[in-house]
Structure formats: structure tokens, C-alpha cells
Structure 1
Amino acid sequence: RADHTFTWKLRGFDVEGASYRLRIAVHGDQIGGFSEFLKVPEAWERDYEELRSHNLATGLIASFFLVLTLLAMLVVFFVNIRQRDIRWKTAVIFGGIAFVLTLLANLNNLPVTEYAYETTETYGSYLTNQLLVSLLSALAQGLFILFLTAAAEPVYRRAYGDQIRLNEQFQPHGMRTKRFLLGTVLGLTMTAFFFAYQTIFYLIAEKFGAWSPAQIPYDEMVNTYIPWIMVLLIGFLPAVSEEFISRAFSIPFLQRYLKSRWAAVVISALIWGFAHATYPQQPFFIRGLEVGIAGIIIGAVMLRWGILAPLVWHYTVDALYTALILLRSSNSYFVISAALSAGILLLPLLVATLIYLRRRFFVDPTSMLNRADSPPLASEQAPEAGELLPPEAQLLRELPDSVLANYRPLSGSRLGLAAVIVAVFASLLFLEVERPLQQVDFALTSDEARQKAIEHLQASGTQPDTFHVAVFQQHQPDGDAIKYILERASIDRVNQYYTQDLRASLWMVRFFRPLQKEEFWVEVDPQNGEIYSVRHLLDEDAPGADLEEEEARIIAEEHMRAYGLDPDAFELKQSSSEKLDARRDHRFIWEAREGDPRNLDELHFRCEVRIAGDQPVALRRHFKLPEAWQRERDESTTLQATLGGLRIALIVAVALHLLYLLIRQVRSGGISWLSLIKIGTLAGLVVMLGFLNSLP
């Protein structure tokens, strides 16, 4: 059949250069699609991307310091494992809550993810994959929260001895203390204060040119059966992760080395605040400043009243933001469930208040304070100076005699069998196996390719010295096309295609100017230095001719001939045009005719040419694979998904077991950290050198 796509622009409708567009697709004689959209000017989009780049760069810098914080937490985590000073039960509880909430939210989101269901897999395979992804993401989230809790809790406990221990905060006796009542009330009060603070902050900032975009109150969670699960999740995860990283850990950790409490509060608050700079508020620093100031206040609250008030505040703020769409709904179920989820911390507050009103006294918190926690178990006595042993020897010395007595070395026959097996598999490395595309020869260096591209642009009337130039290697092969060819022909046929008709690799020479749309991409053959193709990107407002299709087609065919392609050997499969304000662009796709040696069964060789005004701006050669073959390759059954899931489950199980062994080794002091640090430093330097080497 023949398919068509039509796009109309509404006359007389203009919003600061944006236009209303209506698009209809026709498949044969049937309507195949309908859409309407606002076409935003390309210049505005580029300006906005440039504006947003400052936000992203600021957020990236802050994220770098957050990564350093996480590395510090990792070091402290292992130190506390060695000192046996981690309260694993507390960490497991927080991690378990994160796991359960994430898993429930993922499963609850299945009705939404079903819209992305690919019909190349069975429905059973789809469900299996979704369940597996849900389980793995929940496990990862749970382990991350477990790690943060295990790393932050000992630091917080040691630094603030007069505060109630984290594991006692939500215990029944902990909720009966005056501190719990005050902390919860303070956290809820801070929620109202924060909303007022944000409003006043941006009202004042607006006077100085700041801008905070309106948010559309819509979220896919309303399409789920239990939308309030997302309210609980979005309230819990940021509250626990951010408060543990930026408050419970960072403030006492920085205070220890800076010797200044308020410097620690301000620095940790600014890192946390500017990590939010990626939000669209303008100027780029305003969101970081807003959140950073709030972080200083929250840090001061933690120093005075402990971590409970910040946790209550953070949970309630994020939960309320998430629940707004539900609270504004006319659906009673949405409103009630969202209110209960966002205000869930009112329940323990209500219970604590009722208990106090009934008994007229608070529980004494002395036994629950951090300083009352039992000291860590004493580590094994270190050997005398003359008895220092390597970790391996120390582990052997610590093993029970029964274990050593039961050890039996491998017999000679087993060692011989192992040697034979290793030799057989090692010999496979020396087998010569013919592989496709091994004949690629980079006879040209990158500098020579650059010069070839410069000469070509100069010959076409372009001044390349006004552009920045970057050169890199581009691998061209289509993996699916190669598989299709190998199913029907030999490796020689693949090599033939990628030497005569296509190229396996090319030197890509890019000419560009910062903050400008126009650029050139020149593709140079690395074997003979020929120009394989040139792509010229133009701004949509760049002026040009307004040609009819036949006129543009003649130019496109001449462009094909210039690159050694005979238009008579092709038939036109697709053509389209777009009328811009200052020119008309055209796009043509040709396909090699039946019987052409560049085709193979249902694999067809194609050539695409783009015309901007009256200038050819792109030529691309490629293979068109049959859709039926692609769908068959992408098919997935429940059995395949299950086997893939079992493989991943095995990998996860091995990883968790290795983590368990690592923790045991750290606790027993059986790890030579100096050697590991040297190896890690060397590996990091190699990676850094590789990155710096790739910058050109």
C-alpha cells in the first residue's frame, strides 16, 4: 500500500512565533493517525536549551560534591563495620520499607506501563519482565537506603549524644516521650512554614527578574488502582535519603574536620540546595539559593531538636506535593486516601497526644539517648609488633583446628584434569575464525581526514576556519542487517557490502560554532580519503528557495550522481516536503530496483537525500530490513523471559553473597586496604587518562 502523512498549519494563529499544527496519517485508504500540537520556533528551543544548560551545569557541580559525600559515607561504612558499630536492625528496617514501597509502587504502575507493551512479545513474557524489573529496582532502592542508614546512623549517634536514637524514635515507648511530640509538631509546623517561605521567596525574587514556571497538576498515578502508594513512596524516599546524606551524616562529618558547626551546616545545605538547580527556575542559581537557605534552617533545627523534625518535615512536604492532584480531585477515594497518606505522621502524633492526656506524663528518654547506647564490641586484640601477619596468614590462624584438620589437598589426577580443561579452553583463543569486517584499514590519520574535509568545504565555498573542528571515528555497520545477510549468504557478501556500497567505519569531521545551529558533518573514507558524504545542518529560519517537488528531485538526483549513485537504478519510495517561513525543504528516499545486486531477498538498499531550499544538505545510504523479520527476531516468550530472569536472579544472588563475604572480611580485618587503594588509584588514573585522551 501507499501511506501518506499530511501536516496543516492553522492560518491566523500565532503565539509569539509558535503555530498550531494538525497532522493526519493515511495508511492506504484508512486513517492511521491524528495529532495536534504547538510548533515552537526552533530558535526559542535553542535559546531555552542554552538557558537550561546553566541549570544543568550547576546541578552537575553540586552532584559532584554529593558523590564525594557518598564516597565518604562508603569509607565510614567500612570503618564502622570493622569496629562493629553498625546497627543492622535499624538499617534493615529502613531498607525494608523502601523495598516494599518501591515494589508496591512498581506493581501498582503496571496499568500505565502496559501502554508501552511491545506486541513482539507474549503477554506472559511482558508480565514476567515487568515483575523482574519491579523486583530488581525495589531491591536496589532497598539496598541503597540500607547503606545510607548504616553509614549515617553511627555518625549521628556519636555526634549528638543528647538526641534520641534513630531506632527508638518510632518505637511505642519512643512515641511517648516529650521529644517525639515536640519533634513531630515542629516538623509539621515547618511544613506550613516552608510553603509560606517558598511563596514569599518567589514573590520577592520575581521583583528582581526571577521566574518559577507553573506546574501542570497531572500525574500518571491517577491511572492506577492504588494511587496513594506513590504518595507514600515519594514522601519516604527523598526524606530518608536526603536527610541522612545532607543532615545526619554531612553536618557532623564536616564539623569534625572543619572544627566549625555552622560552616558544616552552611556547606552541607548549599550542596544539597544546588543539587536541586536542575529545576527549570530562572536564573539558574535561584532554585539552589531557595533550597539552600531552607537547608540552613533545617540543619539548625536538627542540631537543636534532632533528626526527627527534618524527617517529618521532608516527608510531609514531598507527600503533599505528590498528593496535590489527588486532593484537588472530585473523587472522594482520591481525596481521602491522599490526605491519609500525606498526613500519615499525624497518626503517631495523635496517639502520643492521647496517651499523654490520659496518663498526664511523658516517658523519661534518658535510656533512649544516643549516649546511652552500648559501646561497640571490642575488636580482636591486635598482634604484637613481631607477630604482624599478612591477612591470608591471619585468617588461617583464626580458623578452627577442625576446619584445618578436614582440609585435603587436591590429588594429582584432579590437578591434571584441571590442567587439561584449562589447556583445551585456552587453545580456543588461538583458533582462526573468520569474522566480518576485519578488512577495515585506517590508512588515513585523523589529521589527514581533517585536512581532506577542510579542502572539500573550501572547494564548495565554505570558510572552515570560522568553525571549531572535531574528528572522531564512526562505526557504521547495522548489526541486524549483518545478521540478516549471514542467514542467507556468506561473510564475503557482508564484506562486499561494506566495501563497495557502504562503509564499515568512517572518519567523522564536525565543523560547528557554539550556540549556532549551522554546522557541517563531513564523512571521510579512512582507506582512500574520499568524501563519503556531507551533512549540512541549517537553522529553520535560514533563507532559501521555495521549489516544487520535481525541481527539488532533479537537484537530489544530481547530488546522488556526484557521489557515484545512479538514480536510474533506484525507484522513489518516499517523498515529503515542509514549508518553512523562509524556504521549503524536501526529503526523498530511493530504493534499489528489483534484481539489483545490492538487494538480498527482502533486504533492500536505500538512499536518502535532503534538500534545503535549492541546496542538498544530506545523503545517507542504508539497508531497509523487512518488518516481519525484525518482529520475529524481537519476539519473546514467557519461557525466554523466565530463563532471563533466572539468570539475572543468579547474578544478583552471587553479588549479594559476595557483599556478605566482603562485610565478613571487613569485620575480621582480613582485607589489605593499602593494596586495594593502590590498585583502585591506578585504575582511576587509567580511566581519567582515557577520558582526557578522548576529549579531542
Structure 2
Amino acid sequence: MGQQHLFRLGTLAVIGIILFVVTNWWPQMTEKNENRVIVETHPEISKQAAAAAVEAYIGALSSVPVQATQVIYQSDQLLSGYVQKERLVREYNTSYKDRVPVDYYQVELGSGGKTAYLAYVNMTSGEVIGWQKRSGAPAPNVRDGRRIAETYLEKAGKPLEQYQMLLPNSAAPYQFAFEHRTARLGEAKLREIVEIRGGEVTAYRTEIRVPDSHSAWVQRQDRASSSMTGLNMILSAIMGLTAIVLMVIHRKRIAFVRGLWLTFTFLVIYWINNFNMVPAFKTLGSPGNDPFLAADSSFGMVMLMNVVVAVMGVVGYFSLAAGQPLWRDLGMGNWTRWREPSFGEDTFAGMKRGYLLACLMLGLQSLLFFIAENRFDMWSVNDPSGSMYNLLRPGLFPLMAWTAAISEEAIYRFFGIALFKKLLRSTFLAVLFPSMIWAFSHTQYPIYPVYTRFIEVTLLGIILGYVFLKFGFATVLFTHAIMDSLLMSFSLMNLGSPAYITLGLFYIVLPAIVAWIIWRLHRAALRRRPDTASLT
């Protein structure tokens, strides 16, 4: 790597670091930010303590012995989004956070080989804030249900004169809601929910019921997100089928062994991650779904995801194979082969560029988020399905940076740009269209309005596209892997323990270790080849 190039990339990296620091830490010091952002709750009690508290609590309610089987982190995304969107965070933190926490533990309690109870625990105080018993018993009539519910609330210390009962609806005749006459958060109202089946209380919780208008807005946003994700799947499938056709047409010009190691790495890491996410899969149920069903079906979700990942791996491999003749036809050699003398040096140089460009990318992404938050009212909610607290082994999570880099750079940069460049004869459009398709898949994250995420990822994809065209596949692969490794390592280190901090630092330097090993292995291979020994 030339000194002038290194200096320019180093300057861009410094600019990126400054942008990252300013746009992430400076807003947190302002009073304005205090009233618009809810950060993920850092638990002050362990999962073991939460399980013990719930076993004692449910044990006093039930005549059947129960034992805590698993504890997961959950989040009320609807409430979190409402208080952020309406700038009610300060009022919520002052008046309601302890009573109705956005983030909480969900504890499963087993009896007879299956989950019998779910209980919910405040992650900071350890107080049980709600519970639910598995039951298929019928709902009572309104009069009997009201009597049982009011008796329960009185024992729980809730003054009945402060509440008015709402009539049960036909969709949930077993649910009796008591709305507080004065307590509210904006237009949201405080409610006590008691569920009664078979003449007994089978669930209790306190909730802040957000306005129907907000729920409807979120549903429209989620439908838009689902549509964009579906569009990504359709267009990516078309690209995959195109790659298969091109592989058949150009089969004599393709080195099929190329890409196998990348595909193998992608599959192994992703499959390990799927099993690591067993607790996270239990959080994927939406309001109205049976939470016990999510608790029972997590292993089935793992098996389904393993199949999906296998398909993704195949599409990525086809993309790497089919892209080879396309780039040769365009007269561009942007992926050095192992047998070429420069492979090891190119890989090592790609890693060095990758670290500098990743710093720039992080800064630009943070700047785009900052602009979206302050000019387009963007906000995000905590995502239990992607939380470190819902992994069996959180220390393995940053390895996922490599799966994203391998599959996405193979499909949307190496193959996508070549395909669209051949079809459209325009470099800009060839970079733009794969970036848009890539961005469609990222709207599934809980960031609202969803179009802001689409714009942000499209812009980042355009930058990665030109990085690929300028420096080649190795550089864009390392740039993506290092950028995601940094973000995931920061999340891991945020767990606070010295072990996780050390492991996070290891993952940050892992790309350099990988590139060094490849460089050393390739150098040794060159020395064993008589035709290239003089070059080493």
C-alpha cells in the first residue's frame, strides 16, 4: 500500500472516529437527548436471582411444584416506541419506569415436562411485576369474573375506587382490564390486567396502554418493513437463479474451488449462532400471540433457520463463482487467486485498508443516524431477539460479523455490481441497484420510520461498492467484517465483565490475525513452489 494512499485513508479514518465519538457520546450529555432515547436496561440482578424470586412467588400461588427452566430478556417495544416518539421519556422514567418497565426478565417455570407459568421480573429491583399460567379453561361470565378480579386486586393493594373496569371484548373474554382514572402518560393510560379462566386467576400484569393511533402507525410501518424484506428476498432469489444460469453458461471458465472456504466459514459460524440464539427465538412472538407457543417452538425455529442459512450459503457460493467470468469480461481483476504471487500481500493490504475504511464507515453511519434522529424524527426500540442477554454464549456473537461480510459482499458487491454493470452499462447504477436490494433486507430492524434505515444502508452500500471497485474484494470484505466486529465487540464489552471486555478486544484485532495467518501460509506455499521461490 502506497504511503500517499495510506495517508489519505488514515485521514478519512480519523474523520470517521471523530464523527463517531461526537455523534454518539455528545448527544447523551444533552438534556434534549434525555427526553427522547430509551437505552437498553443494564440488569442489576442476575438471571439466577430472578429465577429464585419467581420460584418463591409462583410457589405461593400454585399447589403444583414448579421450577424455573429458563430466563430471557424481553422488551415492550410498543411502549418504548411510544414514549420516544412522543418525547415522554423523562416523564416515563420519573413516574412509571419501576411499575411498568420497558425491559424485563421473562422466567419460564416448568411442571410435568412443559412450561406451566411465565413470570415477569423487574431487571433492577428483582420484583415480580406480572405472571401468567398456561390454561385452556373457559372464561367466566362478566359478573363472576369481575368479582374474582376485584378480590385479587384488593389483595394486591390496588384501591378499587381509583379504577374503572372495562368490559371484556369478544376476542379475549377471559381478560378483565381496570383502567386508572387519573394516571396516564401522554394519551396512554395505566391499566391493571387480570385474566380469569375456570374460576381462577390465571394471569396478572400492569400495563400502559398506548393509544390505538400509535399502534396502528407502528403496524403500518411494520407492514412496509415486511414488504421491503420480501422484496429483498424476491430480488435476491432472482439474482441467485441468474448466478446459477451464468455458472452453467460459463462453467468452463470458472474455478469452482474458489469461494468454498468462505462458504464453509459462513455456514459453520451461522449454524453455531443459530443454536446460540435458542433463548432469543423465544422473544419473537408479537402481541396477541400465545407466549407459551413461542416458549415451546424455539428449537423448531433453530431447525428452520439452519435450512434458511444453508440456502443463503449456496446463493453466496453461486455468486462468487458466477462473478468470476463477468469481471474477466469487464477486464477487471478484483479478486486475487491463491496461486498468484500477490495473493498474500493483497490480503494483508486489504486488511489494513479495511481497518481505516471501517473507521470512516462507522463515523458516516453515526452521522446518518444523527441526522435522521434530529431532522426526520427517527427512533429505535430495544430488540430482545438481537440482545446479548438472550444468547447462550454471548462471547461467540461477534463472530457473526464474518457471516454478514462474506454473504453480503459476495452477493451484492462481487456478483451484483458485475451483473448490473453488464446489464445497464453504467457504473453508478450498477453500484446503486445492488445497494438498494441490500438495504431492503435491513429494514427489518426495529428502527422507525423504516424508510430512514433504507436510505442509510443504501448510502453505505454505495460507498462499499466504490471501495470494492477501487481496492477489490479483499478490502471490501475486511472493511465490512471489521466494521461489524467493532459494533458487535462494543456490545459485548458493554456487558461489563473483564472477560467480555478482553474478548471484545480480541475480536477487534481478529481480522488482523486472520490476514496475517493467510499471508504467512501463502508465503510458505510460495517458497515450496519452484517457479515462484525467487519472488519471496
Measured after TM superposition, the shift of residue 241 of structure 1 is: 2.1
User: What's the counterpart of residue 74 of structure 1?
Assistant: 244
The answer to whether structure 1 residue 97 and structure 2 residue 268 are counterparts is no
**Per-residue deviation, residues 273-327 of structure 1 (Å, max 9, x unmatched):** 4554555656654333322222222211111110112111222333444444322
For residue 143 of structure 1, what is the amino acid of its counterpart? V
SS in 1 for 2:423: helix
Measured after TM superposition, the shift of residue 188 of structure 1 is: 1.7
C-alpha separation in 2, matches of 1:34 and 1:325: 33
CA contact (8 A) 1:102 1:141 kept: no
Q: How does 1:143-292 map to 2 (within 5 A)?
A: 143-156=314-327, 158-159=329-330, 161-165=332-336, 176-177=344-345, 179-206=346-373, 209-216=375-382, 219-233=386-400, 235-277=401-443, 281=447, 285-292=451-458
Cα RMSD (Å): 4.4
SS in 2 for 1:9: strand
User: What's the counterpart of residue 44 of structure 1?
Assistant: 214
The structure with more radius of gyration: 1
SS in 2 for 1:87: coil
CA contact (8 A) 1:202 1:210 kept: no
SS in 1 for 2:510: coil
C-alpha separation in 2, matches of 1:267 and 1:109: 32
C-alpha separation in 1, matches of 2:337 and 2:372: 38
Cα–Cα, structure 1 residues 190 and 217, in superposed 2: closer, same or farther, change >3 Å?
A: farther
Q: TM-score, normalised by structure 1?
A: 0.43
Cα–Cα, structure 1 residues 127 and 346, in superposed 2: closer, same or farther, change >3 Å?
A: same
For residue 80 of structure 1, what is the amino acid of its counterpart? H
Measured after TM superposition, the shift of residue 113 of structure 1 is: 5.8
C-alpha separation in 2, matches of 1:227 and 1:338: 11
Cα–Cα, structure 1 residues 325 and 31, in superposed 2: closer, same or farther, change >3 Å?
A: farther
CA contact (8 A) 2:266 2:407 kept: no
User: What's the counterpart of residue 303 of structure 1?
Assistant: 469
**Per-residue deviation, residues 591-648 of structure 1 (Å, max 9, x unmatched):** xxxxxxxxxxxxxxxxxxxxxxxxxxxxxxxxxxxxxxxxxxxxxxxxxxxxxxxxxx
How many residue pairs match? The answer is 352
**Per-residue deviation, residues 64-123 of structure 1 (Å, max 9, x unmatched):** 544443332232122233xx333332333222222212322233334666899x9x99xx
CA contact (8 A) 2:380 2:446 kept: no
Match of 2:274 among 83, 106, 111: 106
C-alpha separation in 2, matches of 1:206 and 1:131: 35
For residue 328 of structure 1, what is the amino acid of its counterpart? N
CA contact (8 A) 1:58 1:285 kept: no
C-alpha separation in 1, matches of 2:237 and 2:305: 26
Structure 1 segments unaligned to the other structure (5+ residues): 369-696
C-alpha separation in 1, matches of 2:449 and 2:179: 34
Cα–Cα, structure 1 residues 339 and 21, in superposed 2: closer, same or farther, change >3 Å?
A: farther
User: What's the counterpart of residue 12 of structure 1?
Assistant: 182
Measured after TM superposition, the shift of residue 40 of structure 1 is: 1.3
**Per-residue deviation, residues 394-419 of structure 1 (Å, max 9, x unmatched):** xxxxxxxxxxxxxxxxxxxxxxxxxx
C-alpha separation in 2, matches of 1:136 and 1:206: 37
SS in 2 for 1:249: helix
C-alpha separation in 1, matches of 2:447 and 2:309: 31
SS in 1 for 2:319: helix
User: What's the counterpart of residue 485 of structure 1?
Assistant: none
**Per-residue deviation, residues 12-45 of structure 1 (Å, max 9, x unmatched):** 3222211222323456686533323321111222
Q: How does 1:440-589 map to 2 (within 5 A)?
A: none
C-alpha separation in 2, matches of 1:60 and 1:317: 26
Q: TM-score, normalised by structure 2?
A: 0.54
SS in 1 for 2:178: strand
C-alpha separation in 1, matches of 2:277 and 2:450: 33
Cα–Cα, structure 1 residues 184 and 50, in superposed 2: closer, same or farther, change >3 Å?
A: same
Measured after TM superposition, the shift of residue 248 of structure 1 is: 0.8
Cα–Cα, structure 1 residues 239 and 18, in superposed 2: closer, same or farther, change >3 Å?
A: same
Between 1 and 2, higher relative CO (CA 8 Å, sep ≥ 6) is seen in 2
Query: Percent identity among equivalent residues?
Result: 19
SS in 2 for 1:88: coil
Cα–Cα, structure 1 residues 36 and 353, in superposed 2: closer, same or farther, change >3 Å?
A: farther
For residue 106 of structure 1, what is the amino acid of its counterpart? N
User: What's the counterpart of residue 395 of structure 1?
Assistant: none
Measured after TM superposition, the shift of residue 63 of structure 1 is: 5.6
C-alpha separation in 2, matches of 1:325 and 1:132: 27
Cα–Cα, structure 1 residues 43 and 224, in superposed 2: closer, same or farther, change >3 Å?
A: closer
C-alpha separation in 2, matches of 1:260 and 1:338: 41
C-alpha separation in 2, matches of 1:76 and 1:214: 41
C-alpha separation in 1, matches of 2:282 and 2:460: 40
SS in 2 for 1:309: helix
C-alpha separation in 2, matches of 1:21 and 1:166: 64
Cα–Cα, structure 1 residues 69 and 280, in superposed 2: closer, same or farther, change >3 Å?
A: same
Cα–Cα, structure 1 residues 15 and 98, in superposed 2: closer, same or farther, change >3 Å?
A: same
CA contact (8 A) 2:442 2:453 kept: yes
CA contact (8 A) 2:388 2:394 kept: yes
C-alpha separation in 1, matches of 2:361 and 2:204: 44
CA contact (8 A) 1:97 1:142 kept: no
Match of 1:317 among 469, 475, 483: 483
C-alpha separation in 1, matches of 2:326 and 2:477: 17
Cα–Cα, structure 1 residues 103 and 275, in superposed 2: closer, same or farther, change >3 Å?
A: closer
C-alpha separation in 1, matches of 2:220 and 2:300: 38
CA contact (8 A) 1:222 1:326 kept: no
C-alpha separation in 1, matches of 2:367 and 2:376: 13
Cα–Cα, structure 1 residues 174 and 225, in superposed 2: closer, same or farther, change >3 Å?
A: farther
C-alpha separation in 1, matches of 2:355 and 2:314: 29
User: What's the counterpart of residue 153 of structure 2?
Assistant: none
**Per-residue deviation, residues 227-278 of structure 1 (Å, max 9, x unmatched):** 2333213x12322222122211122222223333333223333443455455
Cα–Cα, structure 1 residues 183 and 224, in superposed 2: closer, same or farther, change >3 Å?
A: same
C-alpha separation in 2, matches of 1:268 and 1:331: 40
CA contact (8 A) 2:179 2:189 kept: yes
For residue 415 of structure 2, what is the amino acid of its counterpart? F
SS in 1 for 2:378: coil
CA contact (8 A) 2:336 2:342 kept: no
User: What's the counterpart of residue 501 of structure 1?
Assistant: none
